[in-house]
């Protein structure tokens, strides 16, 4: 296939080292997300951890307040995990396929993050102590939109500064 038909010229393609450098953080982060979705980080486990935090116990917070703090912590973690995944994926797509535009990189990162979110929630649904929910997929997707958008804005700013 020739460059005229849409193939990236060999000189413009990143080498293997560059591809590994671009994608290794994405793969590592997906591994961390998978670990965080294990039984070790179930709702009951994080609630127990919160009851052992010295400054929280010193405040004498009620179990109801600890439950709210646990909910906020867990849902914030969903958002942040997938924001970071989308940001890393957008960066990896941009570094491994510079011929495509910023929108293509952003949409590909969003798609990857949402697929990972659905798979992760499916994995949690098979666990004894976890549950996979559509609400969590929506929170994850919101984080992904934020992360991919932040990554796109960061890249645009860098391009403007370089110009």
**Residues with Cβ < 8 Å from 144, sequence gap 6 or more?**
82, 83, 85, 86, 109, 110, 113, 114, 117
- Alpha carbon of 81 to those of 55, 120, 138: distances in Å? 25, 12, 13
Sign, Cα dihedral of 60, 65, 67, 68: negative
pLDDT, greater one: 79 or 41: 79
pLDDT at 13: 63
Joined together, the tokens standing for residue 4 give 């005229």
pLDDT number for residue 41: 79
Over residues 1-19, the pLDDT tens digits come to: 444 444 444 455 678 898 9
To the nearest whole number, what is the mean pLDDT of the chain? 86
Using one digit for the tens of pLDDT, what is the confidence trace for 20-45? 999 999 999 999 999 998 878 777 77
> Over the chain, what HEC string results?
CCHHHCCCCHHHCCCHHHHHHHHHHHHHHHHHHHHHCCHHHCHHHHHHHHHCCHHHHHHCCCHHHHHHHHHHHHHHHHHHHHHHHHHHHHHHHHHHCCCCCHHHHHHHHHHHHHHHHHHHHHHHHCCCCCCCCHHHHHHHHHHHHHHHHHHHHHHHHHHHHHC
């Amino acid at each position: 296939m020739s460059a005229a038909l849409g193939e990236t010229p060999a000189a413009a393609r990143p080498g293997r080292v560059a591809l590994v450098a671009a994608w290794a953080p994405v793969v590592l982060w997906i591994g961390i997300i998978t670990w965080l979705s294990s039984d070790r980080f179930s709702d009951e486990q994080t609630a127990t951890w919160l009851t052992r935090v010295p400054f929280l116990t010193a405040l004498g917070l009620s179990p109801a307040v600890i439950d709210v703090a646990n909910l906020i912590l867990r849902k914030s973690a969903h958002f942040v995990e997938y924001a970071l995944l989308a940001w890393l994926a957008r960066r990896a797509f941009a570094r491994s396929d510079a011929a495509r535009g910023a929108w293509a990189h952003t949409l590909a990162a969003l798609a990857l993050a949402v697929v990972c979110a659905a798979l992760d929630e499916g994995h949690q649904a098979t666990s004894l102590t976890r549950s996979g929910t559509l609400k969590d997929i929506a929170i994850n997707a919101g984080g992904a939109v934020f992360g991919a958008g932040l990554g796109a804005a960061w890249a645009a700013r860098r391009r403007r500064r370089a110009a």
